[in-house]
C-alpha cells in the first residue's frame, strides 16, 4: 500500500544521526564524533515529502536607503522607511516581507509595531520573519546579558508583529579566546533564548553568517550542540559561505532550514560571481524545504531596479 502523500516522511531519526552520515560522506566523521551535547539533539524539521516555497523580501535589500538607529521623528527626512518597504513588497505581489530589526526606530514603541502589523495585513502580506544582529560569543558579564536581553526583546516584538521566526547570528571568537569556548557560549546563549522563544511561539533560526558559522562544519557543530527544542532551526543563506564549494556546503545545512534567504551573488573561495538561483532552489527542494524564500539583495545595481527583475526570476523558478 502506497504511503499517503500527506504523511510526514522521516528524513533522519535524529540530528546526531544525520550529522554522522554527513560526516562519513565528507570524511569528517572523526571531527564530529567528538561532539557530545549535554542535551538530546532535536530532529531536522519533518516535511511532508513535497517542497513548497513562498516569496518574501528582506528589508536589508534597501540597506543603503533605510535609516538605522534613528528616532521616529526623523523618519520623515529619510530616503525610505519601513512603510515604503512594505508598500514596495505589496506592489511586487509578494507573499511576505521581512522588516529587519535594524531599521525600526530607535525609540520603538508598541504602537509602532501595531501600525506595521496593520499595514502589512491590509496589504495582504505576511511578516515572514525578522532578524537581529546578536553575538552570543561574548564572554560572561554585562555585555553578554545585553545580547540576551536584546534577543528576548525581539522575541516579544516578533510575537506582536506575527513574525514566526527570527534570524539570529552566532558571533565571532573574541580576541584571545578559543573557538571551542566561543561555540560553547553560543550554544548556551541559543538554549537560553530558546527557552523564552518557546513561551512566545517564535522560532529562532541560526544563520550561516561568518564568524563561528563560516563553514558547514562549524554550523553543524552548533546545531548538534543545541538542546532539543522544536523552536530551533537553521536560516539557510545562499550567499554567506565563502568556501571552495559553497553549493555543496549549502546542501549540508539545507535539511535543517526553517527559513531560507537567497542572494543574487555567491563567492566560492571569496571570489564573487552571479549565483545560480535555479541550483539554489533545487538544493532546497531536494531537502523538501517548505517555507519562505526571502530575497536579500546586496549587489551593486540599484535595488529599486534590480529587485523586481530578480523576484520575477525567482517566481518563475519556484513555479516551474
The angle subtended at Cα 262 by Cα 320 and Cα 70, nearest 5°, is: 135
Q: Which fold has domain 52-319?
A: TIM Barrel (3.20.20)
What is the model's pLDDT at position 49? Answer: 72
- Whether the Cβ atoms of residue 168 and residue 202 lie closer than 8 Å to each other: no
Supply 183's cell numbers. 561555540
What distance in Å separates the CA atoms of residue 94 and residue 90, rounded to the nearest whole number? 6
Q: What is the 3-state secondary structure (H, E, C) of 266-288?
A: ECHHHCCEECCHHHHHHHHHHCC
- Beta strands (DSSP E) in the chain are 52-57, 96-97, 126-127, 130-131, 165-168, 203-207, 232-237, 257-262, 265-266, 273-274, 290-295
Q: Report which of 100, 129, 150, 95 is spatially closest to residue 233, judged by C-alpha positions.
A: 129
State which residues of the chain have pLDDT below 70: 1-43
Supply 276's cell numbers. 545560480
What distance in Å separates the CA atoms of residue 197 and residue 191, rounded to the nearest whole number? 10
DSSP type of residue 7: S
Q: How many CA atoms lie within 13 A of 46 on its CB side?
A: 10
What is the model's pLDDT at position 41? Answer: 53
- Whether the Cβ atoms of residue 282 and residue 254 lie closer than 8 Å to each other: no
Structural domain boundaries in the chain: 52-319
Give residue 265's Cα distance to chain centre.
Answer: 17
What is the model's pLDDT at position 44? Answer: 77
What is the model's pLDDT at position 11? Answer: 35
What is the model's pLDDT at position 40? Answer: 52
Supply 131's cell numbers. 532578524
Burial class (CB in 10 A: 0-12, 13-18, 19+), 1: exposed
What distance in Å separates the CA atoms of residue 204 and residue 251, rounded to the nearest whole number? 20
What distance in Å separates the CA atoms of residue 94 and residue 101, rounded to the nearest whole number? 20
What is the model's pLDDT at position 228? Answer: 87
Q: Report which of 212, 276, 211 is spatially closest to residue 250, judged by C-alpha positions.
A: 276
Amino acid at each position: 500500500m502506497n504511503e499517503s502523500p500527506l504523511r510526514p516522511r522521516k528524513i533522519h531519526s535524529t540530528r546526531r544521526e544525520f550529522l554522522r552520515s554527513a560526516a562519513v560522506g565528507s570524511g569528517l566523521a572523526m571531527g564530529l564524533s567528538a561532539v557530545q551535547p549535554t542535551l538530546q539533539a532535536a530532529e531536522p524539521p519533518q516535511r511532508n515529502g513535497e517542497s513548497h516555497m513562498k516569496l518574501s523580501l528582506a528589508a536589508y535589500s534597501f540597506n543603503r536607503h533605510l535609516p538605522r538607529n534613528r528616532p521616529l521623528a526623523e523618519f520623515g527626512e529619510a530616503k525610505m522607511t519601513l512603510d515604503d518597504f512594505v508598500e514596495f513588497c505589496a506592489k511586487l505581489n509578494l507573499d511576505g516581507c521581512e522588516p529587519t530589526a535594524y531599521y525600526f526606530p530607535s525609540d520603538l514603541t508598541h504602537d509602532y509595531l501595531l501600525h506595521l502589523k496593520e499595514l502589512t495585513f491590509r496589504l495582504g502580506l505576511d511578516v515572514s520573519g525578522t532578524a537581529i544582529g546578536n553575538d552570543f560569543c561574548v564572554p560572561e558579564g554585562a555585555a553578554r546579558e545585553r545580547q540576551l536581553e536584546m534577543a528576548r526583546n525581539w522575541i516579544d516584538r516578533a510575537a506582536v508583529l506575527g513574525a514566526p521566526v527570527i534570524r539570529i547570528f552566532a558571533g565571532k571568537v573574541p580576541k584571545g579566546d578559543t573557538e571551542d569556548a566561543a561555540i560553547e557560549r553560543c550554544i548556551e546563549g541559543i538554549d537560553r533564548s530558546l527557552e523564552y522563544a518557546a513561551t512566545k511561539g517564535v522560532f529562532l533560526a541560526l544563520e550561516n553568517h561568518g564568524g563561528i558559522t563560516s563553514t558547514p562544519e562549524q554550523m553543524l557543530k552548533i546545531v548538534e550542540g543545541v538542546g532539543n527544542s522544536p523552536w530551533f532551526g537553521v536560516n539557510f543563506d545562499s550567499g554567506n559561505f565563502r568556501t571552495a564549494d559553497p553549493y555543496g556546503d549549502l546542501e549540508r545545512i539545507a535539511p535543517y532550514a526553517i527559513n531560507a534567504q537567497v542572494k543574487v551573488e555567491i563567492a566560492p573561495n571569496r571570489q564573487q560571481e552571479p549565483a545560480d538561483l535555479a541550483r539554489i532552489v533545487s538544493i532546497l527542494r531536494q531537502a523538501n524545504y517548505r517555507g519562505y524564500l526571502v530575497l536579500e539583495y546586496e549587489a551593486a545595481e540599484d535595488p529599486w531596479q534590480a529587485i523586481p527583475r530578480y523576484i520575477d526570476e525567482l517566481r518563475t523558478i519556484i513555479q516551474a
